Structure 1
Amino acid sequence: MLKKLAIIGFGSTMIGVGINGFILPFHLINGGIFGISLLLKYIWGFKAGITFILLNIPVYMFAYKSDPVYFFNGVIGAIISGMMIELLIPLNGTVQLPIISSVIFGAVMIGIGVGVMLRNHISPGGMDLLALLIAKWSKVNVGVIMVVIDAIIILTGLFLLKDPRLLYSLLIISIVGLLAVLITSFRSEEAFTK
């Protein structure tokens, strides 16, 4: 249990730093329910972390029925990730980088955080949990499923906000998806025995 909490703490911190330090300053989004939460923040000023936790509820109700283990791991992952996003808001605007550097740094941090959690069968929330369940049923790599879902969310954001900078978000989801695929593909023997 302590190892699981340490993994969730590390992954959530990476996600929180990546979003607040590198993604929010340019009003970009990443994928999944994180992306939807950021869209709602930009359009109506909702708190991203709280919105993230609330939007996860229906997905978790579905997960509870289909796989209680994923459900419990996911609930802890989503709540801590949502809290870290809120706690690390002061990082917004502290790092001054060109947009492309910010996108790459932010995406790498989020990708490592998400990948490490998924590798240990912990969902950082929502769409990732849905992607984990779909991957389990379909045998398609979870990272590939995430990229498809995330691309749909970003294209919707592009349509709603009409901000061409959101095209950078496609780079974010590509890097996050690639890292999730890499981290979840190279599993240790220990990961197989769990």
Structure 2
Amino acid sequence: MNIKRIKYYSDFSRSSEISLFKRAGLIFCGVSLVTISLQLFLVGNFVIDGGIIGISILLSHITNQEIGLYLLILNAPFFLLAYSFLGRRFLMLSLFAITILSFGTHLLENFPVITHNPFLVIIFGGISLGLGVGITIRCGGCLDGTEVLAILFSKRSTFTIGQFILFFNLFIFGVSITILGFTEAIYSLATYLIAYKTIDITIQAH
């Protein structure tokens, strides 16, 4: 079941009911949700995502550089891997997604967060993040280098993409304790637990 589900995104040599134009439009919507989650809920409250995005947020806090710069630099090696194993169209859609994300985070860089309430940040930030990532993966792209590894690994195991991404992120959340603090790390983990479940629900939806 899981292998068939993964082939939906990775096997682009077969015909598809979704046109490339429609895929790009849906990915744009998904990435917009991720951008809103990051800039209007998470980053300003010192709550991080996992994966390369999480590392980029941590580096942004340390260096005061924009997140988008790190997103482009750190994701580059993984996108080359994506081209080798998942094909040219996957690479094109992923580059499109990460470009929109980088540009979107730049546009919203100076916008204030919507709320500082931890409960609302965790719930709305997590759902928006997970839904956006799930839509992007479902439409044949990805936003994060760790998602590439998760897609490849999930093809050869019974674990889902969301579960693999969660495993990768446990280490990142551990590191965030020393940079952002214990409370923020717990909030980050809680946010991602919601996001990771939303990713799997979005991907498996018919």
Instruction: Name the TM-score, length of structure 2 as normaliser.
Output: 0.83
Q: Which residue of 2 aligns with 1:92?
A: 112
Deviation at 1:139, TM superposition (A): 4.3
Q: Does 1:76 align with 2:123?
A: no
Q: Which residue of 2 aligns with 1:122?
A: 141
Quick check: 30-39 or 152-161, which moved more? 152-161
User: Residues 1-194 of structure 1 correspond to what in structure 2 (within 5 A)?
Assistant: 1-68=20-87, 69-93=89-113, 95-186=114-205, 188=206
Percent of pairs with identical residues = 24
Unaligned runs of 5+ in 1: 189-194
Aligned counterparts of 1:75 and 1:48: Cα–Cα separation in 2: 16
Deviation at 1:75, TM superposition (A): 1.7
Alpha-carbon contact 2:46-2:180 (below 8 Å) kept: no
Unaligned runs of 5+ in 2: 1-19
Aligned counterparts of 2:203 and 2:41: Cα–Cα separation in 1: 24
Tell me the amino acid that sits aligned with residue 28 of structure 2. G
Aligned counterparts of 2:181 and 2:81: Cα–Cα separation in 1: 33
CA deviations on 1:40-63 (whole Å, 9 max, x unpaired) are 011111210121111100111222
Alpha-carbon contact 1:154-1:170 (below 8 Å) kept: yes
Give the direction of change, closer, same or farther, for the CA distance of 1:138–1:74 in structure 2 (3 Å limit): farther
Tell me the amino acid that sits aligned with residue 29 of structure 1. I
Deviation at 1:92, TM superposition (A): 3.0
Aligned counterparts of 2:202 and 2:74: Cα–Cα separation in 1: 26
Give the direction of change, closer, same or farther, for the CA distance of 1:54–1:92 in structure 2 (3 Å limit): farther
Quick check: 41-50 or 118-127, which moved more? 118-127
Alpha-carbon contact 1:59-1:126 (below 8 Å) kept: yes
SS of residue paired to 2:110: helix
Alpha-carbon contact 1:75-1:125 (below 8 Å) kept: no
Q: Which residue of 2 aligns with 1:191?
A: none
Instruction: Name the TM-score, length of structure 1 as normaliser.
Output: 0.88
Aligned counterparts of 1:146 and 1:128: Cα–Cα separation in 2: 7
Aligned counterparts of 1:12 and 1:139: Cα–Cα separation in 2: 27
Aligned counterparts of 1:66 and 1:185: Cα–Cα separation in 2: 22
Deviation at 1:163, TM superposition (A): 4.3
Quick check: 125-134 or 3-12, which moved more? 125-134
SS of residue paired to 1:123: coil
Aligned counterparts of 1:142 and 1:8: Cα–Cα separation in 2: 18
Aligned counterparts of 1:92 and 1:154: Cα–Cα separation in 2: 24
Alpha-carbon contact 2:57-2:67 (below 8 Å) kept: yes
